Amino acid sequence: MNTNILFTSVGRRVELLDSFRRAYEELGVAGRIVATDVEALAPALSLADRPYIVPRLDHPDYISTLADIICREQVSVVFPLIDPDIPVLAEHRTVLEATGAKLAVVPQEAAAVAADKWKTNEFFSDLGLTVPRSWLPGTLDPAEAEYPLFIKPRFGSASEGAFKVETSKQLEFFSDYVPDAIIQEYLPGPEITNDVICHTDGRLLAVVSRQRIRVRSGEVIVGKTVFDPTITDACERIAAALPAIGPITVQCMMNGGVPTFTEINARLGGGVPLGIAAGADSPRWLLARAAGIEVEIPPPGSYCQNMYISRFDQSHFITEAKCNEFASRCL
């Protein structure tokens, strides 16, 4: 029996699809990679065995279209790859899992926590974790605030609309400019992103910590693997409390040697290829579990530490005929 997996909003995640394809080959598992996106020119779409163009998330036909693809392709597991997909998939879990597929998506309540930075802050605080001091606009007097501060959208993604604030005038401006903002104390870092790899049954497989050294459009382009048992322990507690269903990504900033937790992205992170290269082969583990194959999971922190990632751009070429072929699949 084939074990087919589907990635929604596949975008530029070329390395991730390549890693799953290697996992199929190494495990000897039969199956295919299905991918969706709203854009035919999404680079990773061409790497899928079955690429599909789908309506936007807010389109009334999105869920029915996705469910049809899952049925048609006999998909075993669905992985979301961008934050906006998660609440939508979580809300429609019953419909989508009625196809026989499993969603690697947190429960609806957890999706709401991860999507809202204010709720995330409260969630971390309730777990006893260190969090940045935080305010909502109108609750912090710009004249009395301690600068610098950091402001970002409560419901944002990919670091869009996030700004360092150094004066009262800037705080007043950005409080109006940034929609549904949250204001936090500015933490210089370093920033640590943690790949918390869980299967759809909630079983924790690994935690891989990565220091973000240089970032572009919210995605790491230079980073390195690190290990801190305090962070690993906290990530295990976070995964259990959500609860995590499928992989999640947890972000924290180091502040005087203390990890200060800031965000949850309930999906496979953009920098996960670094963890894979360091020995935490999450695609292989996730695919093996989906196929019912037992594989040995190494103990926590056994991945190669101080391994660096340095990314570069690579061109992708596609003909108009191929674009039209992708678009026609869902007609």
At 163-199, the pLDDT tens digits run: 999 999 999 999 999 999 999 999 988 999 999 999 9
CATH of 4-114+189-310, one of 3.30.470.20, 3.90.1200.10, 3.40.640.10, 3.40.50.10860: 3.30.470.20
pLDDT reported for residue 195:
97
Q: Mapping DSSP to helix (H, G, I), strand (E, B) and coil, where does residue 331 land?
A: coil
Question: What does 50-115 look like in DSSP terms, one character per residue?
Answer: EEEE---TTSTTHHHHHHHHHHHHTEEEEEE-STTHHHHHHHTHHHHHTTT-EE----HHHHHHHH
- Residues 50-107 pLDDT 10s: 999 999 999 999 999 999 999 999 999 999 999 999 999 999 999 999 999 999 999 9
- Give the list of residues 6+ apart from residue 66 with CB closer than 8 angstroms, or none: 8, 36, 54, 96
pTM: 0.93
Q: With contact defined as beta carbons under 8 Å apart, do 191 and 161 qualify?
A: no
Number of Cβ within a 10 Å radius of residue 313: 8
- Does the bond joining 247 to the residue before it have cis omega, within 30 degrees of 0? no
pLDDT, average across residues 144-159: 90
Beta bridge partners of 191: 212, 253
Please report which confidence band the pLDDT of residue 281 belongs to, taking 50, 70 and 90 as the band edges: very high
Taking 60 as the threshold, does the pLDDT of residue 331 lie above it? no
Question: What does 226-260 look like in DSSP terms, one character per residue?
Answer: E--HHHHHHHHHHHHHTT--S-EEEEEEEETTEEE
Please report which confidence band the pLDDT of residue 12 belongs to, taking 50, 70 and 90 as the band edges: very high
Please report which confidence band the pLDDT of residue 321 belongs to, taking 50, 70 and 90 as the band edges: confident
Question: What does 9-55 look like in DSSP terms, one character per residue?
Answer: S-TT-HHHHHHHHHHHHHHT----EEEEES-TT-GGGGGSSEEEE--
Q: Given strand 149-153, what is the order of strands in its sheet?
A: 134-135, 181-185, 149-153, 163-165
Number of Cβ within a 10 Å radius of residue 100: 11
Tokens read off for 325: 């072929």
Percent of the chain with pLDDT over 90: 86
Percent of the chain with pLDDT over 70: 98
pLDDT, average across residues 208-216: 92
Question: Can you give the residue ranges of every domain in the chain?
Answer: 4-114+189-310, 133-185
* Domain 133-185 annotated CATH 3.30.1490.20: yes
Tokens read off for 214: 């240089």
